[in-house]
A and B are shown apart, each in its own frame.
Chain A
């Protein structure tokens, strides 16, 4: 058996690496492209601004689903942001470097790995049944807040830790308390990073389906209060695909979702560029 020359081996290896890279990008383009090509032509103002009428033909549009999704985003964020930022402030600013802190951080990581449907089961047992919230936007939002918490904590903590320690020291030296230093120095400086984390969580709300399927019910009606059930866009895709013949509308709803996700990706990308530029250029006059 002759051994391939190192140069030839490298050619093969590089060929493999290129192929995999091209495959990955192609897969993305094919999926996104397919959904957009199939879905976008179906979308018109009628589709966007009328509500699903149910039935086998999947008549109607997605308006109530858009409204449900927006409600869910607002309520989830209202619960998530104080909790997540509080936890991140603790971990980044107050937590001593000891076993307890390591344990807490470990819990955050573990929580991030728990599957959505397990959160759904938990939310179903606690919020839907035990707390009698029934299938509702509130039950869904509480469940989602638990699910997204570790992601927000992680990104907010990272953003706060990236603020140079000298800035805190300067504030403390001027007589600020730890809390004042956090509120007036660290958080403003870390704000772009924190906002990026929040936007990513909004993306999470939009994309999530499994835990909402079992905590929000599938009612496609226009939500009237926090206690009414609702169907987000992602859950609507599932219903259209599994219970109706309207696969074209499922594709169209999928296309709306993809557009939202792409926009969210672009915003976070822009924000992180902004963040980098700021870190490089502006640290000299930070406070």
Chain B
């Protein structure tokens, strides 16, 4: 076997491997769509997406409450995480002395690796009782508990991408501002942050994707009630939690509606991440 032959074969093979990611994406879309079709055909898109009643054993298959649950929890989590994360990014990129920064960065990054069930567990044991105490009623499994857990989980993602984009701003910009007599903070606020804006927005968008997709920690702390999240102390249910807790037992229409839940999640995430990727690309 000549080496040129090997080269030709391996080139083809590499191309095949290269398309695997694309194929998986297509397969996921096809299989989830295929699973969804019975429900979409029989119950109808509008009745699934916009009905607020989820009671599969009585034939009620509305997933709007979970959609709202996912969105509300994510927005709350971002409201907590974004100011913290941007603050952290400024801290790491501009404020912290080199040695402290080098110690804080891996500490914050460690948060990415911790399994989500561990967050869920700590949330269950520490956060929920505290929230029950605070609200004076219920068990503490609530939108608030979920949002706090989620905020901690997305914090490191947003921090590290934001820090990268702050560092990617040419030093000349900052030096120019300082030379014109700006304080360090004025340089950061009026020059660095606007210049890094796109990267920070992209970080937030990617963090949003991660937040919407989180599953097990949510199941553990949110209470899984299929109701509209009207109070931060009330329980709710997320799209992800709906799939995880019911797919093993579901049959027929119920199973198919869970695939619709997955489809909604998939489309939502695709849309969010496409925006994030576009923003990130244009930056370069």
In the complex they form, do A and B come into direct contact, defined as C-beta atoms under 8 angstroms apart?
Answer: yes
Given known contacts A10-B183, A118-B266, A122-B31, A251 and B84 CB-to-CB distance under 8 angstroms: no
Min CB gap B126→A, angstroms: 7
Query: Do B126 and A28 touch (CB < 8 A)?
Result: no
Min CB gap B167→A, angstroms: 15
CA distance A177 to B265 in the complex (A): 45
**What residues on B are CB-neighbors of A170 within 8 Å?**
none
**What residues on B are CB-neighbors of A120 within 8 Å?**
243-244, 247
Query: Do A124 and B247 touch (CB < 8 A)?
Result: yes
**What residues on A are CB-neighbors of B215 within 8 Å?**
115-117, 209-210
**What residues on A are CB-neighbors of B16 within 8 Å?**
86
Is residue B185 within 8 Å, beta carbon to beta carbon, of the partner chain? yes
Choose among B83, B122, B189, B213 the residue that contacts A31 (Cβ–Cβ < 8 A).
B122
Is residue B69 within 8 Å, beta carbon to beta carbon, of the partner chain? no
Is residue B282 within 8 Å, beta carbon to beta carbon, of the partner chain? no
Query: Do B110 and A32 touch (CB < 8 A)?
Result: yes
- The tally of residues in A whose CB lies under 8 Å from a CB in B reads 88
Which of the 9-residue segments A50-58, A60-68, A99-107, A189-197 touches chain B?
A99-107
Which of the 9-residue segments A70-78, A234-242, A275-283 touches chain B?
A234-242
Choose among B10, B18, B110, B117 the residue that contacts A91 (Cβ–Cβ < 8 A).
B18
Query: Do A261 and B110 touch (CB < 8 A)?
Result: yes
Is residue A49 within 8 Å, beta carbon to beta carbon, of the partner chain? no
CA distance A179 to B8 in the complex (A): 8
Min CB gap B24→A, angstroms: 5
In chain B, residues 119-177, which have Cβ atoms closer than 8 Å to a Cβ of chain A? 119-122, 124-126, 152, 155-156, 159
Is residue A14 within 8 Å, beta carbon to beta carbon, of the partner chain? yes
CA distance A17 to B189 in the complex (A): 12
**What residues on B are CB-neighbors of A234 within 8 Å?**
115, 117-118
Say what secondary structure dominates the interface of chain B.
Answer: helix
Min CB gap B217→A, angstroms: 9
CA distance A37 to B247 in the complex (A): 35
CA distance A93 to B120 in the complex (A): 42
CA distance A178 to B15 in the complex (A): 14
Is residue A198 within 8 Å, beta carbon to beta carbon, of the partner chain? no
Choose among B19, B24, B209, B244 the residue that contacts A210 (Cβ–Cβ < 8 A).
B244
**What residues on A are CB-neighbors of B95 within 8 Å?**
14, 17-18, 21
Query: Do B262 and A117 touch (CB < 8 A)?
Result: yes
**In the complex, which residue of chain A has the Cβ closest to the Cβ of B14?**
A90
CA distance A85 to B83 in the complex (A): 38
**What residues on A are CB-neighbors of B11 within 8 Å?**
94, 178-179
Query: Do B259 and A110 touch (CB < 8 A)?
Result: no
Given known contacts A90-B15, A117-B244, A242-B220, A104 and B183 CB-to-CB distance under 8 angstroms: no
Contact with A along B97-127 (1 / 0, CB 8 A): 0000000101111110111111111101110
Query: Do A90 and B111 touch (CB < 8 A)?
Result: no
Is residue B17 within 8 Å, beta carbon to beta carbon, of the partner chain? yes
Query: Do A117 and B4 touch (CB < 8 A)?
Result: no
CA distance A273 to B277 in the complex (A): 29
Min CB gap B272→A, angstroms: 8
Known contacts A34-B122, A114-B270, A238-B120; can you find 6 more A-B pairs with CB under 8 A? A21-B87, A86-B17, A109-B277, A113-B272, A115-B212, A121-B259
Query: Which residues of A are at the interface with B, using a C-beta cutoff of 8 A?
Result: 6-7, 9-10, 13-14, 16-21, 23-25, 27-29, 31-32, 34-35, 82-83, 85-87, 89-91, 93-95, 103-104, 106-111, 113-122, 124-126, 146, 149-150, 153, 177-180, 182, 203, 206-210, 213-214, 234-235, 237-238, 241-242, 247, 250-251, 254, 257-258, 261-262, 264-265, 269
A-B contact pairs, 14 of them (CB 8 A): A6-B183, A17-B90, A17-B91, A24-B88, A27-B152, A117-B265, A122-B31, A207-B113, A210-B116, A214-B247, A237-B121, A241-B117, A247-B125, A261-B110
